[in-house]
Structure 1
């Protein structure tokens, strides 16, 4: 793993990635692979398979970077969704649902997003998510950290699908205020 001394703003990084600059991909890997690995590992519960899915995720990022649109969201969100979806697909290929833990015993282990000045550590991320009402917190955990679909959450928790969707939407709106640049 290369240790890049370069620093990029998010806009500079995206432009360099779209120009297929090797140093930009090294920077991306160095700064985001840990967070993506944690997301994948929590879903798969198998470190070897998680490492494979991480590699597949970075290949998808590399091949599809031209389709990234900064107007639709941050780079970290885009790559996180690629990794999360890869983990969900891998879990389904194995014929099982993604793993589910007790929300109160689970810490959010994502590495700091270098472009999120408002967050300085994963403990702050956990603290922000923990500020949500319990019925919203568990839905955010299941949907974004464990890889459940809205339908699976509805079934697992015996909550109507519409309620799941509206609670997640409300929770995301509530969280959005903490992530505003």
Structure 2
């Protein structure tokens, strides 16, 4: 397969890096749609096998590959639901509980989480810990005790980390994440 003109062999380090980066998101998406973690992982694994079998694919970018995998996941999940519910070939609107809008919301949510995880990884190790604990609902005092640093150090680390996240993700995006998506962690 090619991504942005670069040949990726399926037994290469590059493919392993791609797989390790994309599999958790694909597995989580399938799990949310099917509401079953084991089946979700199986569906994600099958999507990568299908990708492997179609080794002549040429993707313009990693985002194009990600979109391709999302469609594979969605279709496989719908097939599973049809089998489970004994549906004939019908449209999503005709009775499946997974609707197109719900799927798109799950994709958007997963991409948002991925962007946040990637941005947090770019923070200093202490900044990562402070933000992760804050998103889990820890107070500054709790974080201070957990990391065995002063509360002023926590405030400084948090301020620097949030500034970095705002620069990387945009201030509105960070506000949304910090207020609406705390349950992610």
> Counting helix residues as a fraction of each chain, which structure ranks higher?
2
Higher RCO (C-alpha 8 Å, min separation 6): 1
With normalisation by structure 2, the TM-score equals: 0.45
With normalisation by structure 1, the TM-score equals: 0.46
